[in-house]
Structure 1
Amino acid sequence: MNTQLEQTLQVGEKKQLPFITYIGLYLALALPGIFVMVSGQIKPGWVLSEIFFWSLTLLILVIVVLYERQPLSSIGLGKLTWRSVAWGIGAGLVLFVLFGLLQGLVKLIGLPISTSAAKQIGEMPVWGIFLLALRAGVMEEVLFRGYPFERLLTLTGSKAVAAIVPLLVFIITHLSWGLGHLIFVTAAGGLITLLYLWKRNLWINIIAHFLVDFIAFMMIPLLLAK
């Protein structure tokens, strides 16, 4: 039996979504930014922040499966294949090269980067950096790419709107890292959004995002030493 959402999920057609999906869009696009702003004042700590973001990601997945009654493939999480892994690794390496190039540009023109956040990550053990990069890859791709893109595309019928709105939210949630890091976030976010538009496979995005973050985070002590 088709649910209301199943009847509306036709690419390129402007449709009305069930109310639960609007709640999902609010949770995905508004709540992370609100948490980032509030956490700057209350400083909840790394563990509580991770619990919050993992819980929010899980909640979105629960909404998709139990309330929208859709498969996870409706937000790009289809079957994970070796081909997806290969694409993800390749895309992650490309993004890391971009990170290196933009890092050099940022230092050349003297744009500010948040050294406090970088130092906090640089002091983490390897397992902590791994978990942080994993959370960033999974959470940000589910909340800022797969879920909002697919649902906004159904709502508006516009790929441009569905891609740009989550991208802007993604950029805004990284403002505290400083203008220098924001250049990389904007460039990488734009490229990984285009990658999702092309492949519509969120596993590729997650793997690429995790890989570039993990390598970059591991290099922070070296970057701070320069």
Structure 2
Amino acid sequence: MSSNVPKETQISEPSERSEAERVQRRGLIIELLIVLGLSLGKSGIYSIANLVDKMTRAPLGSQTTSLNNSLNQRQYFDLTYQLLDIFFTLVPVMLVLYLLFRIPGCNPFDRLGFNMKKPLLDLGWGAGLFLAMGIGTLGVYALGRLLGLTTIIVPAALDDYWWTVPVLIFSAIRHGILEEVIVVGYLFERLARLGWGKWQIILMSAVLRGSYHLYQGIGPFVGNVAMGMIFGYVYSKKGRVMPLVIAHAFLDIAGFVGYALLGSAIGLGT
């Protein structure tokens, strides 16, 4: 018995599905490039340019990189600009959560494990990663300085105001949320949909993390790639970015606030 479905329809259905898949894949790639172009991908490109600039000026070991710089000479305008900078840096995170929210039935906070549903577990893993990464970071920095591959890093170059420490804490939390939600959670989700394997995604995430630290020198690039491999592996097993956010925030709080309070007294940054 012959089929009642026209031959043209039988032939076109697989073709239509294939075309729809190509369109969806192309859309995901464009989305990914836009998000990275608005956030840490852009930072990576600028960081590479900044590294080349530094390397063509003088040896890296003789140069200084300062973080959390003052943005205005007047105290309350400086505070205003600092808070605005923190807020607008987090807008790409809002965009990523919105893009995932548009997926039918998707709760982006649950999808990325960016919530408070497992506070003790997240805190425990975050604290453990903080201790492990903190020791490693100090070792990589010391080795980089010894080999002349890392600039002198000044983690906090703000003036001494009543709001300095709170702003440094907010800045640290900002970095933790921005990097872990986008470079781990979002990147893993999108690259997996594009058919990438686990270790391909982990490596890509780690290299991207290292790229936007190149302005500090070769040492921080290597250290952050290693950190990215560990964070990526933990995320692939746990499926939650919250422990990574906590660990990252702890690392930056220790570096920023510790330097602001004790750096000059104990001769850090030299």
TM-score, normalised on structure 2? 0.66
After superposition, the C-alpha distances for 1:168-204 in whole angstroms (9 at most, x for unaligned) are: 2222112212223223222222221122122221111
AA paired with 1:182?
A: F
> Structure 1 residues 191 and 56, CA, compared in 2 at 3 Å: closer, same or farther?
same
1:211 shift after superposition: 0.9
1:31 partnered with 2:68: no
Bigger relative contact order (CA 8 A; separation at least 6): 1
Question: What residue in structure 2 maps to residue 174 of structure 1?
Answer: 213
1:126 shift after superposition: 1.1
| 2:141–2:150 CA contact under 8 A, matched in 1 | no
Show structure 1 runs of 5+ residues with no match. Answer: 1-14
Question: What residue in structure 2 maps to residue 104 of structure 1?
Answer: 142
Question: What residue in structure 2 maps to residue 142 of structure 1?
Answer: 181
> Structure 1 residues 102 and 90, CA, compared in 2 at 3 Å: closer, same or farther?
same
1:104 shift after superposition: 2.4
After superposition, the C-alpha distances for 1:124-151 in whole angstroms (9 at most, x for unaligned) are: 8211210111011111001100011122
AA paired with 1:63?
A: L
1:98 shift after superposition: 1.1
1:64 partnered with 2:103: no
Question: What residue in structure 2 maps to residue 204 of structure 1?
Answer: 243
Counting helix residues as a fraction of each chain, which structure ranks higher?
Answer: 1
AA paired with 1:168?
A: V
AA paired with 1:135?
A: R
| 2:207–2:228 CA contact under 8 A, matched in 1 | no
AA paired with 1:102?
A: V
Task: For 2:28 and 2:267, locate their aligned partners in 1 and report how far apart those are by CA, in whole Å.
Answer: 42
Show structure 2 runs of 5+ residues with no match. Answer: 1-20, 51-68, 72-80
> Structure 1 residues 92 and 121, CA, compared in 2 at 3 Å: closer, same or farther?
farther
| 1:113–1:181 CA contact under 8 A, matched in 2 | no
Question: What residue in structure 1 maps to residue 3 of structure 2?
Answer: none
After superposition, the C-alpha distances for 1:24-79 in whole angstroms (9 at most, x for unaligned) are: 422433322325629x7xx9x563542332111111111111x2231122223353
Task: For 1:123 and 1:24, locate their aligned partners in 2 and report how far apart those are by CA, in whole Å.
Answer: 41
1:83 shift after superposition: 1.2
Question: What residue in structure 1 maps to residue 268 of structure 2?
Answer: 224
Question: What residue in structure 2 maps to residue 7 of structure 1?
Answer: none
| 1:133–1:213 CA contact under 8 A, matched in 2 | yes
1:90 shift after superposition: 1.3
Helix, strand or coil at the partner of 1:120: coil
Task: For 1:54 and 1:136, locate their aligned partners in 2 and report how far apart those are by CA, in whole Å.
Answer: 9
1:21 shift after superposition: 4.2
Task: For 2:211 and 2:159, locate their aligned partners in 1 and report how far apart those are by CA, in whole Å.
Answer: 23
> Structure 1 residues 151 and 181, CA, compared in 2 at 3 Å: closer, same or farther?
same
1:18 shift after superposition: 6.7
The sequence identity of aligned pairs, in percent, is 23
Task: For 1:122 and 1:199, locate their aligned partners in 2 and report how far apart those are by CA, in whole Å.
Answer: 40
1:95 shift after superposition: 0.8
2:130 to 89, 92, 97: 92
> Structure 1 residues 120 and 20, CA, compared in 2 at 3 Å: closer, same or farther?
farther
